[in-house]
Structure 1
C-alpha cells in the first residue's frame, strides 16, 4: 500500500479539470512534489463523495497544477489534496489478456478484480533509435491492399488517415482479428459504446480475445481520461515485447481525439495556442507515443497502427500534418476503400521479395500501373471520348481491381492475393503487355484464365 504524503488544503483555484494547489518548498528550495505524481483530492465537506484521482502536470515554484481525471464536479477550494508519491500505473500480468479497462486502468468488463496483480508505470522512456533492430519482418493482415501493396512491417508506426463517417474502425478491427501478432493491444479514445461493443464482439467472434487487451475511453467519460489510453496501451505492449518476447500490435483510434484532449488541457492551463488552437508541443507529444514502436534485440517487437481523422478531409490539419513527419508512411481510407495512390509504407522494401514471394515487387508495381491507366480511361469515358479496345480492357481491369482488392471486407492470405493478381492481369491483358521479367511471367502467368478463383473470401 502506497503511503500517503502530507496533505495540502490550500487550493488556489479550479479551472475546468485543472486544480492549482499551494505546496511550500523544502528547506533546500526544491518542491517535495515531482512532475507526473498522482494525488487524491477529497472534499471534506462531503465525506460520501469518492476521492478524485489527479496527476501533476505543471510545477511553478510553490504552485502545483493537477489534472483531475474524473472532472472537478463536486470539488471546492476547501478540498484536501494528498500526494501519493508515485506516477500513474497500470496492471500488467498475463491475466490482463482478454480483459477491458477504462482510461484510468479500471476493469470495465465485469470480470474478476486484479488488485493483487503487479503494476507498472506508464511514463517510461523510449528506446534509443540507434540501438533498435532494423525492421525486417512482415505482419500479415490478410487485407490485400495492405499485404500486397503497402506491407505492414514489425516495429513500424503508421497511421490510417481518414474522415468521420468512414469505416476506419471496421478496418482496424479486421486487421486486429487477422494479424499474425502474438498480442493485440487496443486503445480507444472517445469511443461511443456501440464502437466499443463492436470491437469487443469482433475480437470474440474471431476467437482472438484471449490474446487481446483493451483500454477504452468512452465519449461519456471525462475528456482528460483519454490522455492516459495511449500511454497505458503502449506501456503494456512494451512489457509484453521485452519481458515475454511477444510480437505486439498496438491499435489506436482516434489520435485526433487525443490531440483534442491535449488542446482542452492547454486551454485550461492558459497556454499560448499554436496552429488552430493546438498546443505548441503537439509534435513532441505525438512523437513520444509513436516512438514506442520498436523491434527489440533478443526480444519481441511493438508495432503501432493508429487512426487519425482529418477534419474537413484536410491533410494539412495540425494532427495529420505532424503525424506525417513522425510515422513511416500512411494508409488513406476514403470512400470505403484504401487508396492505392495516397497510401505508402516506407518500410515495405525491407520485406517485399525478401520474406515474401519473388514476384511480389513486380506484381505490385504492375497492378498499380494498370490501375492508374484505368483511371485515365475512365476519365476519357466520362468526357465522351472514343475508347479503344485497349481502353475497354483497362476499364474492365479497374472494375476487377476495385472489386477483388480494394474492398476492405475482402480477406485472403498474401500468396492467394498474389495469385489473384496474376489471374486478374491474365483476364485483361496479354503476357507481352505486362512489361515484367519474362522469367516471372513464364512461371506465374495463368495459361487457362477460365480457372479464375473469383474475388477471394469476403466477410459477411
Structure 2
C-alpha cells in the first residue's frame, strides 16, 4: 500500500468537484497504490490543502471527489494519498457534540484530536454475531407503540412527502424513545431544520446522550454521502464496545440517494431507473444492514426519513427501501396512516414484552376504524346510516383525536387502557368479538354500567 509520503503530480482532468489522475499500476504480488474510499490531500503553491476521496478506480485512472470547491486548483497540484478511509472520533467525549459531514466538530467545543479514531463504512456484522430481535423500543407514540411497535435492531423508514412534519416527528421519537443513545444524521438540511433538531434535543435535556452529524444544503454533496457512514460507525462502536442500545435517526435518505446520483453522473457512469445509478439498492442496503442486535453487546436501531417525490411510492428510493427494511411508517396528512404503516417485527414483542391484551386490542381497533372509514364514505354519499354506522363514526372521531394526533404522548399501558375506554365509549361487549376473558378483565366497569342503564 502506498505510504503517506507517496505523492503524484499527474492530474489529467478537473470537472466540477471531480479530479482525475493517473497512478502506476502495481505489478504481480505488489500492493495497490490506492483503494476505493481512501482519502487524499491536494496541495500546491498559493492554494490551501483540500481533502478528497477516491470514488473510482479504472486501471491506472483514479477519480477523486473533492470535498471543497476545486476553484483555483491547478493540474500540477500534488496529490498525496493517506492510505486510509475517512475516520471518525469514537469516545464518550463526543456525546453532546455536533459534527459536519467530514467528522469535524462545528459546535466550538474542545478539540478531539487525541481521542480514539475508527474507520467508517466497514463491513456489515457477521450473522453469527447477531441475535433475533426480541426487545421493544418504547416511543410513547400510540400509533407506533400500540399498532406498529419499533423493535430493537429494526431498520424502518418514515415514508412521507415534502411539507409534512416528518422532521418534527423524527425529533420527537428521538426525545421520547427509551434508547441509551441517539445518533442523528442530517443530509442536505436547510439551516432552519438543523437549528430545530439542535434546539429540540437541547430543550428536552437529550444533548448529553446525543451525537449529531449534519450536512447542510450549502455543504458539499460528498459530505452528504458520508453522514450515514459516520453516524452508523459511531453507533456501532457504542453498541459493541459499550453495550449501549443506540437509536440512529437519519433524514433524508432521498437526499442521500440524490447525492449518489449526482456523483455518479459527474463520474460518467451510465444511469439506470430515473437517473439513479444501478447500485442504488446496494448502496442503501449497505447502510441499513448496520442495524443489529449483537449477541455480545448492545443494539443499533435505524429510523430514517424517506421522502417520496410526488407522493410516488414506486419512486426508486422508496421502492428499493421497501425491499430492504422491515416495514414503514407512512406519514401523510399530518398523521401516521394506520393502513399504510407496517412493522414486520412487531409480532416478536407483542404479547411477549407487552400486555396479554395487546394483540387482540390492536386488531379490534383497526377493524373498527376500517369500518368507520366505510361509514364516512356512506355518509358523504348521502346513504342512510344505521345505528351501528353512527357508532362507527363516533369511534372514528375518537380514534383520530386520541391516537392519530401526532401530539399525543402516552406510555404503552395507558394507551392500551385508552383503547379499552374508547371501545367502551362506542360499543357494548357483544360487539367487540374479542376473547371473553380479556373483556372481563379490561373492559371498563363504569362503561358497562352506563351501557346497561342505556339499554333499560
Pairwise CA RMSD: 1.6
SS in 1 for 2:232: helix
Q: Which one of 163, 169, 190 corresponds to residue 165 of structure 1?
A: 163
Counterparts of residues 182-221 of structure 1 (less than 5 Å): 182-221=180-219
Residue aligning to 1:347? 345
Give the corresponding residue for 2:233.
Answer: 235
Count of residue pairs the alignment pairs up:
448
Deviation at 1:130, TM superposition (A): 5.1
Q: Which residue number in structure 1 is paired with residue 35 of structure 2?
A: 34
SS at match of 2:300: strand
Offset at residue 108 of structure 1 (A)? 1.0
CA distance, structure 2, for counterparts of residue 387 and residue 292 of structure 1: 52
Contact 2:40 2:52 in 1 (8 A): yes
Contact 1:5 1:85 in 2 (8 A): no
Aligned counterpart, 1:25? 25
* 1:74 Cα deviation from its structure 2 partner: 2.5
CA distance in structure 1 between the partners assigned to 2:24 and 2:385 by the alignment:
81
TM-score, structure 2 normalization: 0.96
TM-superposed deviation, 1:450: 11
In 2, the alpha carbon distance for the partners of 1:409 and 1:18 equals 45
Q: How far is the alpha carbon of 1:75 from its aligned partner?
A: 1.6
Looking at structure 2, the residues matched to 382 and 324 of structure 1 have their Cα atoms a distance apart, in angstroms, of 34
**CA displacement at 1:131 relative to structure 2:** 4.2
The CA deviation at 1:50 is: 2.4
Shift of 1:345: 0.3
- Quote the residue 1:458 is aligned against: none
Moved more, 12-21 or 296-305: 12-21
Contact 1:70 1:225 in 2 (8 A): no
Is the CA contact 1:31–1:62 (under 8 Å) kept in the aligned structure 2?
no
* Structure 1 residues 370-449: aligned runs within 5 Å: 370-449=368-447
Asked whether the 8 Å contact 1:217–1:225 carries over to 2, the reply is yes
Secondary structure, counterpart of 2:5 in structure 1: coil
2:64 alignment counterpart: 66
Structure 2: runs of 5+ lacking an equivalent: 451-456
SS class of match (2:330)? strand
Q: Conserved in 2, the CA contact under 8 Å of 1:21 and 1:64?
A: yes
Could you tell me how far apart the structure 2 residues matched to 1:240 and 1:131 are? 16
Q: Answer whether contact 2:424 2:448 (CA < 8 A) is retained.
A: no
Q: Is the 8 A contact 1:245 1:301 kept in 2?
A: yes
Task: Give the Cα separation in 1 of the matches to 2:56 and 2:41.
Answer: 16
Instruction: Tell me what 2:306 maps to.
Output: 308
User: 1:298: how far off?
Assistant: 2.1
Q: In 1, distance between residues paired with 2:110 and 2:246?
A: 24
CA shift for structure 1 position 128: 2.7
What CA deviation, in whole Å up to 9, does each residue of 1:225-278 have, x standing for no partner? 100000000000000000000000000000000000000010011111000000
**Could you tell me which residue of structure 2 aligns to residue 9 of structure 1?**
9
1:451 to 1:22, Cα distance in 2 relative to 1, 3 A: farther
Query: 2:100·2:213 contact (CA, 8 Å) conserved in 1?
Result: yes
Match of 1:85 in 2: 83
Residues 111-260 of structure 1 aligned to structure 2 (within 5 Å): 111-129=109-127, 131-260=129-258
Name the CA shift for 1:144/1:450 in 2 (closer, same or farther; >3 Å).
same
Q: In the alignment, is the contact (CA less than 8 A) between 2:428 and 2:448 conserved in 1?
A: no
2-side partners of 1:347 and 1:5: how far apart? 50
- Secondary structure of 1:107's match? coil
Q: Distance in 1 between matches of 2:441 and 2:133?
A: 30
Deviation at 1:27, TM superposition (A): 4.7
Could you state the TM-score of these two structures normalised by the residue count of structure 1?
A: 0.95
**Tell me, what secondary structure is at the counterpart of 1:410?**
coil
SS, match of residue 184 in structure 1 = strand
Cα distance, 1:142 vs structure 2: 0.5
Q: Which moved more, 1:120-129 or 1:250-259?
A: 120-129
2: CA distance, partners of 1:122 / 1:398: 48
Given that residues 56 and 65 in structure 1 are in contact (C-alpha distance below 8 angstroms), is that contact kept between their aligned partners in structure 2?
yes
- Whether the 8 Å CA contact 1:164–1:309 is kept in 2: the answer is yes
Shift of 1:76: 2.4
